[in-house]
Structure formats: structure tokens, C-alpha cells
Amino acid sequence: MSFSVASARAQSNVALPPVTVEAVQKRKPASAASPAAKPRRAAAAARQRNAEPAPPTASQRAAAAAAVLNEAKLHYRAMPSSTTLRSGASPLDTSQTVNVVPEQVLKDQLPRNLDDALANVSGVTQANTLAGTQDAVMRRGFGDNRDGSVMRNGMPLVQGRSLNAAVESVEVLKGPASLLYGIMDPGGIVNTISKRPELYQHGSVTLLGSSYANSRTGADGTIDITGPIGERGLAYRFIGYGVSEDYWRNFGRHREMLVAPSLAWYGENTTVQLNYEHREFITPFDRGTAFVNNAPLAIPKTRRLDEPFNNMWGTSDLIQASVEHCLNENWKLFAAYSYNTETFSANQLRITGVDAKTGIEKRSNDGTWGSLSNASYGTSYLQGNVWLGNMRNEILFGGDGQYRTIYRDNLIRQATPNFNFYNPVYGLITPGTTISAADSAQTDKLGQWSLFFQDTLHVTERFALVGGMRYMDYDQLAGKGRPFVTNTNVSADKVLPLGGMILKLTDEVSLYASYTQSAKPNSTIAALANGGGVVLGSNIAPEEGTQYETGVKFDLNKRLSGTVAVYDIEKRNVLVSQLDPSTGLNVYTAAGKVRSRGAEVDVTGRLTENWSMIGSYGYTDARVTEDPTFAGKQLQNVALNTASLYLVYDFGTALPGRLRLGGGARYVGDRPGDAANTFVLPSYTVADIFATYETKVDTFPVIYQFNVKNLFDNVYYPSAVSNLNVALGDARRFSLSATVKF
């Protein structure tokens, strides 16, 4: 999202001082030797003699505007970024649902990862996080890790974790998003929005200390500096972050470093953005616990079933560039490019069997050496208005291309002695070193090239029709082994339509309905199981999704906004994973059809001058409708009911400093832990609280913040891959931070 104080004024809908890029550009310093400088100095001297205040500089006006804007940001109302819907239109003028987790919510709640942040959004649950190392977000019943649905500024990421100190806000475009984003699950996309350079000089330094209930501690620090370079619209931003903290279970440590510089140029008709992120990390690789007879193992929640060497370590790099140019008052051209890469290795000791009576645990000393993922993506589109008689057409026309590779070089598969989880003795083994040639060289390559078109026809001031289409050509190759065995080799094209309508009842309330489709080629590096047999080199049809959605959107008095939606999604040719007890690995089958029907409510904003809130409720009935094995089964990790509510009270100027208190809870209902529904993850409720106090130390504003995550130290299980791989939610965590602004 391009940021300038002028654009921020439009988004926040508050009266800001009139500072613009043009003002910055026109306010050029006069040379001391120039003739024009003398009368200006004389005028300044006269003003001083007459006690007349000098007019504010552009940077002073920008700072004043930002102060008003920051005041507005303390409340929770926020509009989507233009990068999510490829449009600057108000949500009330669109036929799809976008839910926003605003910047201030992230600051208040301090989410640890993307899954945590999206607890504020309806119909979202967690999928397979690959032992806590990957974002894995299910929307409306669909999604997984590395499924291509997580974006940065509307462009795809392959790095495992996307939420970091460089992210300002998070947005979720619900339902099939293939018209705008190509190959995609029908649940939608998650768009993380970068912090952008700003045209006034300011910065902050934050130091945070944390502790879990079992006294495992950590510390992190963040520096964030931004400001103008000269007076011609050029600005910079630098964000640095570092953390070193104990893992909350009985062993493990998380260390991470992020460096994120960015530049922006805000011209009269053109905005240019360039941002870079470099991240280095080491994090525990923890597959959680196991369920036997529909119950977790009777051991302390802190006890791990693997070894202290189970870690993932690596680096990720992201570079993005974008140009937005206003051709005239009606047309805008946008072009952007993104390159993201991540390399990692991991020790991945795997549980292959447990005996709840004896405590005997069977394990395989697995690992991955030399993993490489990268995604290269470019897009360009025109957006503008065409008048046909008295009817305005909002046109969006463009194209995009993507090339993505996921590669795992050496896969470790090594036998190891049994282990007793009732009487654990760690450190008797070392990481595995036996390379399995048949499992190595895991490769998944995807290329996609597309053209897309969308038209919003405003029939009247209150009624509009939406229509669009994407033509998509794609190739996918996947397989593994030395010698390499190809299990997926697809080359195809697809046309995907979109339709909708919008009826604005008032300037603050609109009704909408939409029809959308999605497509995603089925690919697996492994052979597909089929009726007990194995089909090598299978090229089954792509997954195809169709959604019907209707609902109401509101934005009341520019204070409280939200969406109430009802939807019906059908997805065909679905790959389903299931644990193979003989190998301890997952095999894949293709379900015929699955269906997800539901209702969602999302509300965020300002209730009164002092109260802000963000809340959601989701009802998601997702199950298999056609399949010889799984027909009638609920989809794995999908809860029938989810809900969240977070409230904040701002005492304003009633105290010497500024005190804000907040808290809330999220609820996730029962979910099946595997495709066959052989066990159930129990429902859970987790509560969080926080307090911030802003004061001044000398002349510097200082914000002290205290957070408690999982206030009642509940034990909960957010997701499962199988009964031998059930994730555990974080224990109670205390944190105290101090932020100095300058």
C-alpha cells in the first residue's frame, strides 16, 4: 500500500492538515546567495519582531498530520489496502469480502505468528504448521502450508513465516480469489501489508522481555526509523528486529534476526516503492503430542517426544518493487515485481508409534538438508473509468506471471532405538545422517501466465453489476527420488469467471452477491494411493472451486465497519492426506467433492470515544460429499464454530499519561484431527489481556506495555496432521515492553 499523508487522510476519514507531496516538492530551500533569499530573510525578521509565527515547514505539517492520523489509528477501524482487491474502491462498492486486522490490533495483541493474528477473523483455523515452522491458515475450510495463499502487498510468498516487524496490517480476501490471483484454493488469500516510508522524520526503539509460566524467558528488540531524504518526495525506512527466547516446552530456543530497509518516492502523479527483507532464524521443530483412544498422552504438556536437536534453521530474502502512475484523472497504471526465497535445513525426529500403556514410543531419525524455495512474480494492470452514456464502468485489465520452485535436496531416513515418554532420557542419540535416495530431490515446480479483466458497471448511483474473467495457462512438475520419478506433470489452461452485484441501501450500508471460481492443479511429490493400489505418474484433474456468496456490508459514521456473509463453496477433485501406519508417512488420495457452507460476522472499529473493538463469529460446515472412503466426513481441522472478541478502553487525557486497557478471548470448536475422523481435537477458549501507558521521559514519548497471552494457562490443540502429530498451543506468556519514540 503506497503511504503518504495525503492518502492516509482519505483512508482514515479524519480532518488532517493539508500536507501533500506537492507541498514538499514546492518548498525548495533558497540558497543564501540567491537574490530571492534576502526578502524572505527580511520577512522572517519582520515576523519575529511582530511575534508572528512562521508558517510550518512541509515536514512540520506532515508531522502534525501524522499525529492526528496516529490518534485515529489508536481505534480499530481500518479500510483494506488497494493491493488486496487491485482497487481503491470502498468495501461497500465491492462484491467480495475482505476482513482487516488493523495495525493497532497487531500492536496491542502482539501476535506471535500469522495464525495468531488471524484469530480475529471469522472462519479461520490452523492447518499443518510443519512442526510450528510454517504459516498454515484455513479459510472457510480450505488451505494448508505452502499453498501459495499468503501474500506480501498482493504478491506471493514462499517463506515459512510471513508476519514480522516489517508488517503493518493483515487482510483476508475470502472465497475464490483466482480472478485476481490465479492458482488458488477457494478459501481465499491472506495479504500482509508492509510498513512504508513516510515523509516526516520520526522513529522508535522497543525493548521487550518475556517469560512463560514455567519461567522460560526471552528478550527482543525493534528499531523503526523513517523520514524524508531531501525535499523532493523521497523517503526511507529502516526496520531492524532481533529475538532470543526459550521455547515454552522442556527444551528448545528460538533466535531470529530481521533487517528491512525500504525506499519510496512520492511524486505528483507517480509513486515508486522498493522494499527488502532479510531474515535469519533457528526455531524448534516440534511435532507436538499424540492422541490415543481420542485422548492426549497422559504426560505434562511441556514434555517433548523428540530430542533437543530437533530444530529448523535457515534464511529468507524478499525484494519487491512497485510503480503506480496516474495517467490522467481517470486512469492509473500499476506494475510490480517480487522475488522471495528461503533456504533451510532441519532435524525432524518423527514419532511413528506410541503405546499409552507402556510408554514405548517408536521414532524415526528423519531430517531435511538443503531445502530451497523461491517465487518470482510480476504483475501489471490498468485501472480506470469509462463512461457509457450515464453509466460509469470501473475497468481493471492486466496480466501476471509466476514461477515457483520448492526443492528438498537430501531427505534423512534413519532407524533409531525406542524411547519411553513416561521416563524420558534425552541425548542418547545424535541427528540422523542416512540419506534416503528414494525420498530425496523432492521437487515441485509451477509456472503460470495469465490475463485478467474485470468491469464494475454502475447502472445507477445505488446499483452496480460486476463481471470479470481470467485466462490462465500453467505448467506443473512434481516428483522425487534419485533417479528422479515424476509423479505430477501437468500442462493446461483454464478460464475462470466472476460475477456479482452491489446494491447500496444508503451511503453506509450495501447488499452484495457474487459468484466466483477457483482452480488449483493437483500435485504431489509422492505416488497417489488409489483403492489400495498405487498410481505412478498420476495426472488427475485440477481442484476446482465454485462459490456463491451474499451478505451485507456496513461502515457506520466512519467509525464501525463490518460484514455479514453467507456462502456455499463446492470443491471437486480434492487431494486428501492420511497417515500410512506401515511407514509413519502421509499418503494422498483424491476425494470426489467437498462442500463448505457457512455464515460469518466480522465487526471492527470504534464503539464510543473511549471503546474500540474487533470481533467475529464463523459457522463453517465443511465435509466430504462424494468419495468412496470419506463421504460424509468433516474436513480435517475445520471447526463448526469459531468466535473472537477483543475490547479496548482508552482513558484518554483523564490521567497524567495515556492509559489503555484491553482484553478478549477466542473460541474454536471441536474439529476432526484426521481425514477419516478417527479422533477429535477438543474445543478451546483462550483469553488475552494487555495494558499500555504512554507518558514522557524528558521530551521523549515513552509507551510501556504489558501483555498476558493465554491468561488462564489453558491446554489446547490448534491443529493435527495425524494422531501422532498434534500441535500444542502456547502456554501462558507474560511480556513487558518499553517503546521510546523520537
pLDDT reading at 434 higher than 90: yes
d(CA 386, CA 394): 7
Cell of 237: 525506512
Among 324, 321, 314, 316, residue whose Cα is nearest residue 345 = 314
- If you write DSSP's letter for every residue of 230-268 in order, what string do you get? TTSSEEEEEEEEEEEEE-SSSS-EEEEEEEEEEEEEE-S
Instruction: List alpha helices for 136-288, DSSP H.
Output: 178-181
- pLDDT at 653 (0 to 100): 79
To 5 degrees, how large is the angle CA 325–CA 331–CA 332?
A: 30
pLDDT reading at 523 higher than 80: no
E strand or H helix that includes residue 68: helix 58-73
d(CA 363, CA 82): 49
HEC string of 89-116 equals CCHHHCCCCEEEECHHHHHHHCCCCHHH
Where does the pLDDT of residue 736 fall: very low under 50, low under 70, confident under 90, or very high at 90 and above?
very high
pLDDT reading at 23 higher than 70: no
Q: Scan for cell 540422523, then name that residue.
A: 432
- pLDDT at 580 (0 to 100): 65
Q: Scan for cell 488471524, then name that residue.
A: 118
To 5 degrees, how large is the angle CA 438–CA 441–CA 443?
A: 120
- pLDDT at 389 (0 to 100): 87
Higher pLDDT, 575 or 83: 83
3-class SS at 45? helix
- pLDDT at 64 (0 to 100): 57
- pLDDT at 41 (0 to 100): 43
Q: How far apart are the first and last CA of the chain?
A: 24
Single pTM value for the model: 0.88
Residues above pLDDT 70, as percent of the chain: 86
With b for 16 or more beta-carbon neighbours within 10 A and e for fewer, the 246-260 pattern comes to bbbbebbebbbebeb
Mean pLDDT of 515-520: 95
- pLDDT at 71 (0 to 100): 54
d(CA 567, CA 572): 17
Question: Longest C-alpha distance within the chain, in Å?
Answer: 94
For residue 390, the one-letter residue type is N
Among 63, 95, 88, 86, residue whose Cα is nearest residue 10 = 88
pLDDT reading at 22 higher than 80: no
Reported residue count of the chain is 742
For 402-411, write each residue's pLDDT tens digit. 999 999 999 9
Put residue 322 in one of left, alpha, beta given phi > 0 → left and psi -120 to 50 → alpha: beta
pLDDT reading at 44 higher than 80: no
pLDDT reading at 713 higher than 80: yes
| CA atoms within 13 A of residue 272's CA, in its CB half-sphere | 7
Where does the pLDDT of residue 65 fall: very low under 50, low under 70, confident under 90, or very high at 90 and above?
low
Q: Scan for cell 517480487, then name that residue.
A: 338
Phi, psi for residue 318 in degrees, rounded to 5: -140, 130
For 657-710, write each residue's pLDDT tens digit. 999 999 999 999 999 999 999 999 999 999 999 999 999 999 999 999 999 999
Where does the pLDDT of residue 32 fall: very low under 50, low under 70, confident under 90, or very high at 90 and above?
very low
Q: Which of 27-41, 417-431, 458-472, 687-701 has the lowest mean pLDDT?
A: 27-41
User: Crossing angle for the helix pair 58-73 and 5-12, nearest 10 degrees?
Assistant: 30
To 5 degrees, how large is the angle CA 595–CA 601–CA 604?
A: 140
d(CA 283, CA 257): 12
Q: Which of 74-88, 333-347, 452-466 has the lowest mean pLDDT?
A: 74-88
Please report, for residues 59, 164, 459, 580, the alpha-carbon distance to residue 106 in angstroms, rounded to integers and kept in the order given.
27, 11, 39, 40
Q: What is the DSSP code (8-state) at residue 154?
A: T
pLDDT reading at 507 higher than 90: yes
Q: Decide: 674 and 722 in contact? Cβ < 8 Å.
A: yes
Q: 188-194 and 150-152 as β-strands: parallel, antiparallel, unpaired?
A: parallel
Tell me how far the alpha carbon of residue 238 is from its chain's centroid: 21
pLDDT reading at 69 higher than 80: no
pLDDT reading at 35 higher than 70: no
Residues 6+ away with beta carbon under 8 Å from 582: none
Composition of the chain by helix, strand, coil, percent to 5: 10, 55, 35
Higher pLDDT, 88 or 296: 296
Among 496, 494, 490, residue whose Cα is nearest residue 515 = 496
- pLDDT at 37 (0 to 100): 40
pLDDT reading at 87 higher than 70: yes
pLDDT reading at 370 higher than 80: yes
E strand or H helix that includes residue 65: helix 58-73
For 211-250, write each residue's pLDDT tens digit. 998 789 999 999 999 999 999 999 999 999 999 999 999 9
Q: Decide: 151 and 375 in contact? Cβ < 8 Å.
A: no
- pLDDT at 706 (0 to 100): 98
d(CA 154, CA 551): 24
- pLDDT at 587 (0 to 100): 62
Mean pLDDT of 442-455: 96
- pLDDT at 591 (0 to 100): 61
Where does the pLDDT of residue 601 fall: very low under 50, low under 70, confident under 90, or very high at 90 and above?
very high
Phi, psi for residue 383 in degrees, rounded to 5: -135, 130
Q: Decide: 343 and 314 in contact? Cβ < 8 Å.
A: yes
- pLDDT at 588 (0 to 100): 63
Task: Sketch the domain layout of the chain as residue ranges.
Answer: 5-69, 74-82+96-194+247-741
d(CA 350, CA 439): 15
For 180-189, write each residue's pLDDT tens digit. 999 999 999 9
Task: Determine the CATH number of domain 74-82+96-194+247-741.
Answer: 2.40.170.20
Please report, for residues 117, 666, 671, the alpha-carbon distance to residue 641 in angstroms, rounded to integers and kept in the order given.
18, 11, 9
Q: Scan for cell 509565527, then name that residue.
A: 53
Residues 6+ away with beta carbon under 8 Å from 199: 4, 5, 19, 21, 24, 58, 59, 62, 227, 228, 233, 235, 266
Looking at every residue in the chain, the average pLDDT score rounds to 89
With b for 16 or more beta-carbon neighbours within 10 A and e for fewer, the 8-30 pattern comes to bbebbeeebbebbbebbbeeeee
pLDDT reading at 34 higher than 90: no
- pLDDT at 213 (0 to 100): 81
Where does the pLDDT of residue 73 fall: very low under 50, low under 70, confident under 90, or very high at 90 and above?
low
3-class SS at 273? strand
Q: Where are the beta strands (DSSP E) in 365-462?
A: 367-388, 391-412, 419-420, 442-458
